[in-house]
Structure 1
């Protein structure tokens, strides 16, 4: 190597080492702060477990099928002809409750979905197919508002006011005991959320199954802590119910009167926003707040909503970018902040997604730069410099924190899905990180487009499998209703 080339290489590697140190300080600081944040959640969770306040309830006996009043189930759908049929058939079969009303929303330009809804409902009078006169796709919030007004039309005609509105998606498989459990919980809450339990997928062990890891962690640990601390509870958009009066309060808060629209038609995550508005006790005079409900039946299965999540990288990125845009950006615009310490803490956690993606990107770049410096040292081109003592300690602490997080995830996922899946959950952490980085980049551009006037649009995920079909075929175990009796 010539003298000029050696000088050029030396300058380049000197720059690389300086960049590595800056990235180490940046990523190390935020990783350390994030570790402390997660440890605080863990400490609260362990304390709740030790004191018995976070124990999962158990349904020991048969559950009644009489409800405390009419419950309207909203199922908005756009281009869901492949899965909406199994969803409606299964729901009507395992929820025989007389006071259930299913409002399935489709669009005037989506005849296939409408036909699938009608065929699945048969002659069951509890199903009403509502055709959105506005050509789709609009937004999920707009479609939900159309269902809300259809419900109000039925209330005026029948003289029966709904007790609550329950949300589900076209790809969901409901648990047989979920409706009765939610109905009971509504006696003391304005908003009830049950866990989401993504189905494991042999066809997508890395992308599709990482959803199970994240939902299991969040719905076994963080949501329990939020519930017990009295913080706002984010609605997942499925398996969540809102008291009828609370929806009227939200409509009034939006400034269009109690007879107006409770769902934000311009939001990407209207469910999250609605949960945060209703889910904190004292949101308005007389408001009862929210409740996160974890219940298991006698066989140990969790009362939760099951669904197949995106199996491809592209679909996962599109879905998660919608979540990042709606929660981190739109949530900031629509909900603002709170001076209440616990609430401020949780909103910071909700909106940290873009920052986490930047820090993760810096960490992966660090891996590349460190590899280059090690290679240069091994080749004798550039002596590896010694890092400051503080940086070494930060690396040690953050590495231990990562090991702790991996252990927690292993235990939670392993307990729910089996220990082999618990181990796989640890191995899938880098996959989830890469998806988060790409999704955040896309979310930034989508949000920027809305600032320049681009209208919101339902950037939905395509679904081709429904858990009810897979369970019926014996490919995913069984999910049978517990014995029922009238109340």
Structure 2
């Protein structure tokens, strides 16, 4: 082979070397971050502070509330799911002090009709028609519901005690309402775990959320709660003290507590509770059958929709969060905010890793053809590579274990096999989030790029609880 070909080989070798250094270093940083979280979680387990409470929830489900509870459900183009969601919530939450506010837009008659079907004349449901064309933003719709809540309080002379946030596709837990009501006796914000529903028709994309939430809400949120750092709200299965929401609105100088300029207003709500001196709790409870009291949720089954959703999360939490919330609190708080905002960097490192793999394959083929690599890895690089491989093995085990705990062995094994799928989705979402953030810097207002749902989860998953 001629001199030009050797030049190409040398360039490929140089690229491989530099990518190995870059990826190896940042993978190691990520591994140390996760190891720190693992060690904190194991310590909490050993000391008994991470123990999940087990309760007989059969009597809790219908327990009388200590005050009025309001559930806010913003919708846009949710005709396929909202009726079943409302029917389910009304059926498992019989409390008379419950009020469900469903926000619909005047140019979305299908969702309005479906919401009316789901309410079935139950006086505990109030459908609020927004006075503007949709979609605006989720926060705008939530603020409209908050104003309707205020109007009802003025009309009845009765203050609401607890405000819950849910999405149009959520399957609420029968015990959740009473448990949240009790937990707010000692806190201003309470978050229940979220359990994505495994999807028979989307084992690789739609079901990959299972392991992510199983580990995040089985470990990371438990550690954050124990350390006393701010807890991010998931936007579903979370409850706020009514007075705290009023304080947020007053502190921000606007009529509602939800910031319409934010793509992840729910995440910011949880962070702002701590900023205003409120107490937050992450509540993990299992019933007498061992089932976790959690919000079962339906996540995107198509690749494009999953990428759009995660790009919105990444844009709102990482980019907007850095701009809007900054860096406050002590070292533990800084650590957690760094973890929240590492998404774009993780996507870049993952992309580098896959590029490195492709270059290594090409060089291996050339090596088999008799063209030796013009460099040899140093002992330091080999050590770095070995540590990263060991770290990946450990991470795969932890992911398997947390997924197995909630979904069984089969889903736990699938969780390990889905790691490349999750990585590709993260890379694509990072690219999309970066360009969306660049557009926002040019003054383009954020839009409600919501996740579309084709059908209700109860019809599309294999989950005994939802049958």
Asked whether the 8 Å contact 1:57–1:294 carries over to 2, the reply is: yes
Give unpaired runs (5+ residues) of structure 2.
Answer: none
Which range moves more in the overlay, 64-73 or 361-370?
64-73
Aligned counterpart for 2:397 among listed residues 398, 407, 412 = 407
CA drift of 1:452 comes to 1.2
Cα separation, 1, equivalents of 2:359 and 2:212: 29
Cα separation, 1, equivalents of 2:440 and 2:256: 21
Map 1:15-94; keep pairs closer than 5 Å: 15-60=11-56, 62-63=59-60, 64-94=62-92
Please report the TM-score for the alignment, with normalisation by the length of structure 1.
0.93
Counterpart of 2:465?
478
Cα separation, 2, equivalents of 1:467 and 1:313: 17
Asked whether the 8 Å contact 1:85–1:119 carries over to 2, the reply is: yes
Cα separation, 2, equivalents of 1:426 and 1:251: 43
Q: SS of the residue aligned with 2:465? A: coil
Which range moves more in the overlay, 310-319 or 377-386?
377-386
Q: SS of the residue aligned with 2:122? A: coil
Cα separation, 2, equivalents of 1:47 and 1:102: 40
Cα separation, 2, equivalents of 1:185 and 1:356: 35
CA drift of 1:384 comes to 5.5
Which range moves more in the overlay, 136-145 or 20-29?
20-29
The question of 1:240 aligning with 2:235 is answered: no
Runs of 4+ in 1 over 6 A off after TM superposition: none
Cα separation, 2, equivalents of 1:470 and 1:90: 16
Aligned counterpart for 1:120 among listed residues 118, 121, 125 = 118
The question of 1:269 aligning with 2:269 is answered: no
Cα separation, 2, equivalents of 1:339 and 1:116: 45
Cα separation, 1, equivalents of 2:264 and 2:360: 39
CA drift of 1:443 comes to 0.7
Give unpaired runs (5+ residues) of structure 1.
Answer: 481-487
What's the CA shift string for 1:18-46, capped at 9, x where partnerless?
11111111111111111111011001100
CA drift of 1:479 comes to 5.0
Counterpart of 2:313?
323
Cα separation, 2, equivalents of 1:342 and 1:289: 16
Which range moves more in the overlay, 115-124 or 351-360?
115-124
Map 1:47-446; keep pairs closer than 5 Å: 47-60=43-56, 62-63=59-60, 64-256=62-254, 260-278=255-273, 280=274, 283-284=275-276, 287-383=277-373, 385-446=375-436
Please report the TM-score for the alignment, with normalisation by the length of structure 2.
0.97
Q: SS of the residue aligned with 2:262? A: coil
The change in CA–CA distance for 1:469 and 1:312 in structure 2 (over 3 A counts) is closer
Report the aligned-residue RMSD. Answer: 1.3
How many residue pairs match? The answer is 465
